[in-house]
């Protein structure tokens, strides 16, 4: 892989190279700018819903043979999809057959057909849709299957799965639920379970939408309990009828989200004895989950109450994984094992639960008559994980007392393999979109091309060539993400690139931080995208918030201006300086990484309680994003250390020391640290 020297204007180079790829000739800067303006104008017109302007731009694009005409055509037709005819759609598919926009518009059209109730046309179009990744469309598909007379039990299972996977209220899943409930495919039990799941996930709109199937009085009571669950439980809670008991359970679930201790008191004092066992179990598990999210030691006790009332197999995976985390925190290995074995099959295959199941099996084996069998099961799980390149793969190798080795480098790409990637029209369009600043569209086009751009998913060699194309053009997120898709041939040079290597290493030494940790953090924060900006306003390679940048600049004596945040050198200096300060303040790399992502105050609270091994503490981080972030930063740092120094260090060395309350003789935390 080649890296460009400091000062190289890669954006200008990318513009020219991609333009050349798309047209077969080297465009001049003026021509490239004209093309850029046309595509961006079209996207802006689409955002404004300016159909007339889009049609004008589409005519111009066709006249110019614009390389992004498929996208402009898509935006123009999508804008008036509600009035489009099947014939217009067929013509669009014929023009852009085998492209991302063909499949994307077919997805949009299928949703429109569902809203129209045009099941005959949906039956024609659905088999041609390749992505099959739209939750709402999965619901429409069940209506179609019902109309076609599919077997009742198989249909019921598929409909439940589609409905329960719905994230929020939408038209398609509401239509499916309404029709299948009226037909007796879905039952009142399914409706109440959907409402409990939705409320557990803090999605009251989806819960309300489900409960509308049961009548207006149910919705009125639901709105009341949603507004003030404590008052509802005291004044309106009842268990003499199924409907009343379910509403009381929903009120207690809502109360637990605000105050798990108060909900637990209510259960102990009254409702645990009065609610049906299934509902009492669900409410206790919900209280346990909320307590576990708050790292309360009572969480284990609440989960035990839940298990006494009913089979844990009726709980959601989300409830169960927090049962496992609470048990890990308490050192209850038998409960860790029970919780993992109750998870769905797909969830049990997640690396985290494979690793913790292996650890639990080893611990339980110490006092079991089946010790040899349990250890053999643990060994098999660890063997499966040990060859995988992630946080739990590293921990598994170390649990087996084996070195975690880097894979051999793949054979160099051939000229033919490189040329095939460069000539791929989907990759070309994706690069052009990204270069124009239309990153979301470009990423979608790129990812679709990797999986659907040919007769099937790209093989390893084509993936390596596509990744290298992105690497060479410094489109680092596509470089990394594409290379991570390979299975047999693994390129760590692509997966863990080191842009600006000399600059990063020198700056890290100057500041006093480990360059491997810096690279590990940048890879996770921004994927080396210089102008990356998060939804909360963090900017640059190291994703600094403006207030954090100003504060850090004062600490190091830098006269700061807001425009500096997007300067690469300044962003690196401020980011590394802040990273050093949070690691020093928190006392460990794991805590420091959590503080960098979630702010220093939260890890200070999360470390209270028992002294834990760092991996257990990390698994109990309440924020999904921060938990995943810390694991990846630490794992990334280990691999970057190997690439920088030619050896793979132990991940567990970066997980020291154990994490617990700040020692009495430790320096006080910095109150001013943002």
- Neighbouring residues of 259: CB distance < 8 A, sequence distance ≥ 6: 230
Q: Which residue has the tokens 């003026």?
A: 30
Decide if 541 contacts 574 (C-beta within 8 A).
no
> What values do phi and psi take at 612, rounded to 5?
-125, 150
3-class state of residue 596 by DSSP: helix
Q: Cα(430)–Cα(154) distance, rounded to whole angstroms? A: 40
Long-range CB pairs of 545-548 (<8 Å, 24+ gap) are 545/674, 547/674, 548/574, 548/578, 548/674
Q: List C-alpha distances in Å: 195 to 136, 171, 416, 577.
A: 17, 17, 55, 47
Kindly tell me the burial class for residue 424, based on how many C-beta atoms sit within 10 Å of its own C-beta (0-12, 13-18, 19 or more): buried
Q: Token pair for residue 655?
A: 């997980």
- Neighbouring residues of 320: CB distance < 8 A, sequence distance ≥ 6: 312, 339, 340, 342, 343, 347
Read off the DSSP letter of residue 267. I
Number of helical (H) and strand (E) elements in the chain, helices listed first: 40, 0
Q: Token pair for residue 181?
A: 């409930």
Classify the C-alpha dihedral 311-317-319-324 as positive or negative: positive
Residue 608 known to be catalytic: no
Q: List C-alpha distances in Å: 344 to 160, 293, 320, 385, 439.
A: 15, 21, 10, 19, 35
Decide if 517 contacts 641 (C-beta within 8 A).
no
- Neighbouring residues of 343: CB distance < 8 A, sequence distance ≥ 6: 317, 320, 321, 353
**Of 322, 351, 346, the residue nearest 336 (C-alpha):** 322
Decide if 28 contacts 2 (C-beta within 8 A).
no
- Residue 283 half-sphere exposure toward CB, CA atoms < 13 A: 33
Q: Token pair for residue 358?
A: 């292996």
- Cα 572 versus chain centre, distance: 26
Catalytic residue among 200, 525, 619, 625: 525
In the chain, what is the straight-line distance between the N-terminal and C-terminal CA atoms, in Å?
38
Other C-beta atoms closer than 10 Å to the C-beta of 248 total 26
Q: What is the 3-state secondary structure (H, E, C) of 268-303?
A: HHHHHHHCCHHHHHHHHHHHHHHHHHCCCCCHHHHH
Read off the DSSP letter of residue 436. T
Query: Which residues carry out catalysis?
Result: 525
């Amino acid at each position: 892989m080649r890296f460009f020297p400091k000062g190289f204007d890669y954006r200008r180079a990318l513009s020219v190279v991609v333009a050349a790829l798309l047209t077969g000739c080297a465009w001049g800067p003026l021509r490239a700018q004209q093309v850029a303006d046309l595509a961006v104008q079209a996207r802006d017109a689409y955002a404004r819903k300016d159909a007339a302007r889009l049609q004008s731009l589409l005519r111009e694009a066709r006249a110019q043979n614009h390389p992004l005409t498929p996208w402009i055509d898509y935006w123009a037709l999508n804008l008036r999809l509600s009035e489009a005819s099947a014939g217009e759609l067929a013509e669009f598919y014929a023009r852009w057959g085998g492209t991302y926009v063909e499949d994307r518009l077919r997805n949009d059209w299928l949703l429109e057909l569902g809203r129209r109730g045009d099941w005959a046309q949906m039956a024609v179009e659905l088999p041609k849709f390749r992505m099959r990744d739209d939750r709402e469309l999965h619901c429409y598909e069940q209506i179609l299957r019902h109309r076609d007379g599919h077997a009742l039990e198989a249909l019921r299972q598929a409909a439940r799965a589609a409905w329960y996977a719905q994230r929020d209220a939408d038209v398609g899943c509401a239509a499916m639920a309404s029709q299948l409930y009226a037909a007796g495919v879905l039952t009142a039990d399914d409706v109440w379970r959907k409402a409990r799941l939705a409320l557990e996930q803090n999605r009251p709109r989806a819960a309300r939408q489900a409960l509308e199937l049961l009548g207006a009085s149910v919705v009125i009571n639901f709105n009341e309990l949603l507004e003030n669950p404590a008052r509802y439980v005291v004044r309106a809670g009842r268990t003499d009828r199924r409907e009343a008991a379910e509403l009381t359970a929903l009120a207690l679930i809502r109360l637990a989200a605000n105050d798990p201790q108060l909900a637990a008191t209510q259960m102990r004092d009254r409702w645990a004895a009065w609610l049906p066992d299934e509902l009492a179990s669900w409410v206790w598990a919900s209280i346990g989950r909320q307590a576990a999210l708050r790292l309360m030691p009572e969480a284990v006790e609440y989960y035990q109450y839940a298990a006494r009332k009913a089979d844990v197999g009726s709980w959601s995976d989300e409830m169960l994984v927090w049962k496992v985390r609470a048990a890990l925190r308490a050192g209850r290995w038998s409960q860790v094992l029970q919780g993992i074995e109750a998870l769905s099959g797909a969830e049990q295959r997640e690396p985290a639960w494979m690793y913790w199941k292996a650890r639990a099996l080893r611990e339980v084996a110490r006092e079991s008559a089946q010790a040899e069998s349990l250890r053999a099961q643990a060994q098999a799980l660890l063997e499966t994980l040990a060859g995988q390149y992630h946080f739990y793969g590293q921990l598994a190798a170390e649990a087996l007392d084996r070195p975690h080795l880097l894979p051999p480098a793949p054979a160099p790409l051939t000229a033919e393999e490189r040329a095939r990637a460069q000539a791929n029209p989907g990759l070309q369009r994706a690069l052009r979109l990204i270069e124009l600043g239309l990153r979301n569209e470009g990423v979608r086009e790129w990812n679709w091309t990797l999986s659907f751009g040919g007769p099937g998913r790209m093989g390893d060699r084509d993936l390596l060539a596509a990744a290298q194309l992105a690497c060479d053009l410094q489109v680092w997120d596509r470089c990394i993400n594409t290379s991570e898709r390979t299975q047999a041939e693994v390129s760590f040079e692509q997966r863990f690139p080191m842009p600006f290597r000399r600059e990063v290493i020198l700056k890290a030494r100057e500041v006093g931080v480990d360059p491997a940790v810096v690279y590990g953090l940048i890879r996770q924060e921004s994927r080396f995208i210089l102008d990356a900006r998060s939804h909360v306003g963090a900017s640059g390679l190291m994703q600094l918030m403006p207030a954090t940048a100003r504060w850090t600049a004062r600490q190091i004596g830098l006269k700061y201006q807001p425009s500096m945040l997007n300067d690469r050198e300044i962003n690196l200096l401020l980011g590394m300086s802040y990273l050093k300060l949070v690691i020093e303040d928190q006392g460990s790399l794991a805590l420091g990484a959590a503080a960098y992502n979630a702010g220093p105050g939260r890890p200070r609270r999360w470390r209270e309680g028992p002294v834990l091994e760092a991996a257990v503490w990390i698994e109990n981080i309440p924020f999904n994003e921060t938990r995943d972030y810390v694991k990846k930063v630490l794992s990334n740092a280990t691999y970057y250390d190997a690439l920088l120094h030619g050896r793979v260090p132990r991940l567990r060395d970066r997980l020291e020391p154990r994490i617990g309350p700040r020692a009495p003789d430790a320096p006080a935390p910095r109150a001013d640290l943002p």
